[in-house]
Copies of this chain bind each other. A is one copy, B any other.
């Protein structure tokens, strides 16, 4: 099984003009861990890294595309362009996060948009290459299925959280998500706007700001511009569970 660390790769790190096997650092999903070195090499043969500037669209909803996106550097948001010009942000991705098309095996029409929040470097892998490996390596196929079922669970969870919690619970969820799942450090600096945070929480930016203010006066959090520090995680957890 491949175990590679991208730090060791000068080409990718310094020049940023290729996508070599070292891109597939061992990460949360372990999606590529089941691949042999040869298979990883075949996957990334001739692949180029792509650079996006902050604000650029990487994948556009309702568009046909066969690419699996693997973020190498920077932050991007995955969101649904819903009704009445409202956006619903599903996740903030970074590092070695992989987004396999929600419809990778179903006509390839994407049902979400991915856009860069900061400058982003990422690999675009053609999903037909994945399907080929999928046939050859059963462990890898199971990894992909696991990845999808995990995605499914997250969606189900989001469905309940967004439909059955009051605003304070949803804001607490968003704050905890950002701290524990995206930035993984405590005072964290947001590359996203209040509007984005509201879109993560399914509410208007005004409502989001008001609740953020309450959390501040209750000393659950401390904010300074785009920096947020969570002071009382217990309290937020409890508000999240509320009702």
B149 and A103 form a contact (CB under 8 A)? yes
Contact between A134 and B138 (Cβ–Cβ < 8 Å)? yes
A159 surroundings in chain B (CB, below 8 A): 80, 88, 155, 158-159, 162
Q: Which interface residue of A80, A83, A150 has the most chain B CB atoms within 10 A?
A: A83
Q: Which of A161-182 contact B (CB under 8 A)?
A: 162-165
CB distance B84 to A243 under 8 Å? Answer: yes
Query: Shortest Cβ distance from A196 into chain B, in angstroms?
Result: 16
Which residue of the partner chain, among B80, B105, B148, contacts A160 with CB atoms under 8 Å?
Answer: B80
Q: Does B155 lie within 8 Å of A155, measured CB to CB?
A: yes
Q: A141-B141, A149-B148, A152-B152 are in contact. Are A163 and B88 (CB under 8 A)?
A: yes
Q: Cα distance A106–B158 when bound, in Å?
A: 18
- Copies of this chain present: 2
Does A45 have its Cβ within 8 Å of any Cβ on chain B?
no
Which B residues touch A90, using CB under 8 A? 156
* Interface residues of A, count at CB 8 A: 43
Any B CB within 8 A of the CB of A36: no
Contact B163 A202 (CB under 8 A): yes
Chain B nearest CB from A6 CB (Å) reads 26
| Distance of A235 from chain B, by nearest CB (Å) | 18
Q: Is A104 an interface residue (CB 8 A)?
A: yes
A205-230 near B? 1/0 per residue, CB < 8 Å:
00000000000000000000000000
Given contacts A141-B141, A145-B148, contact A156 B84 (CB under 8 A): no
A86 interface residue, CB < 8 Å from B? yes
Which of B134, B148, B160, B164 is in CB contact (< 8 Å) with A152? B148
Question: Quick check: is A28 within 8 A (CB to CB) of the other chain?
Answer: no
| Residues in A lying within 8 Å of B, measured CB to CB | 80, 82-84, 86, 88, 90, 101-106, 111-112, 131, 134-135, 138, 141-142, 144-146, 148-153, 155-160, 162-165, 202, 241, 243
